[in-house]
Amino acid sequence: MLKEGEKAPDFLLPDQHGNPVKLSEMLAQKNVVLYFYPKDETSGCTKQACFFRDMYEEFQEQGAEVIGISSDDAASHSKFAQKHQLPFVLVADAGGKVRKQYKVPRTLGVIPGRVTYVIDKTGTIRYTFNSMTKPLEHVQNTLKVLKNL
């Protein structure tokens, strides 16, 4: 995984509507919570996304934008976001190129990992959290970090 203090790699990926999302453009306006998750519509990923949804207003109040990222395509992200009324961006990392840039580990060597990064407006990683089995802590922990930035 990338570590706190390292620069976050920039990326340009399509969101759930097919629109391009460039990390550096988002960072020009807000801090970013970038969370990598395994797959749309799986139990832990749905719980995590819905908790980010429920706490989204607090993230906004802390001057942060949330971006979810997995290798699912834009159509899958669109259905997932619509079904669960997700107010934030989901980006499609086809082939896992960005996941590799961020050095997100796989669980048991095959399952894409669940890692969350808090990136400040300078593009510096301020916090990392890696836990496949604690999807809700990703949300709670990042909110605490943002309140102290």
In terms of pLDDT, which residue wins out, 146 or 106?
146
Determine whether 45 is an active site residue: yes
Q: Is residue 89 in a domain?
A: yes
- Domain containing residue 50: 12-147
Q: Is residue 3 in a domain?
A: no
What mean pLDDT is predicted for residues 122-130? 96
- Reply yes or no on whether the pLDDT at 27 is more than 80: yes
Q: Is residue 2 in a domain?
A: no
Q: Is residue 111 in a domain?
A: yes
Q: What is residue 106's predicted lDDT score, i.e. its pLDDT?
A: 83
Catalytic pick among 45, 69, 91, 104: 45
- Reply yes or no on whether the pLDDT at 110 is more than 90: no
Average pLDDT, the chain: 95
Q: What is residue 65's predicted lDDT score, i.e. its pLDDT?
A: 97
Q: What is the CATH number of the domain that holds 52?
A: 3.40.30.10
Q: What is residue 149's predicted lDDT score, i.e. its pLDDT?
A: 85
What mean pLDDT is predicted for residues 36-65? 96
In terms of pLDDT, which residue wins out, 142 or 111?
142
pLDDT band at 90 (very low <50, low <70, confident <90, very high): very high
DSSP 101-141: HTTPPEETTTEEP-EEEEE-TTSBEEEEEE-SS-HHHHHHH
Q: Is residue 1 in a domain?
A: no
Q: Is residue 16 in a domain?
A: yes
Q: Is residue 7 in a domain?
A: no
Alpha-carbon Rg for the chain in angstroms: 14
Q: Is residue 6 in a domain?
A: no
Q: Report the sign of the C-alpha dihedral through residues 122, 45, 51, 140, in that order.
A: negative
Report the domain count for the chain.
1
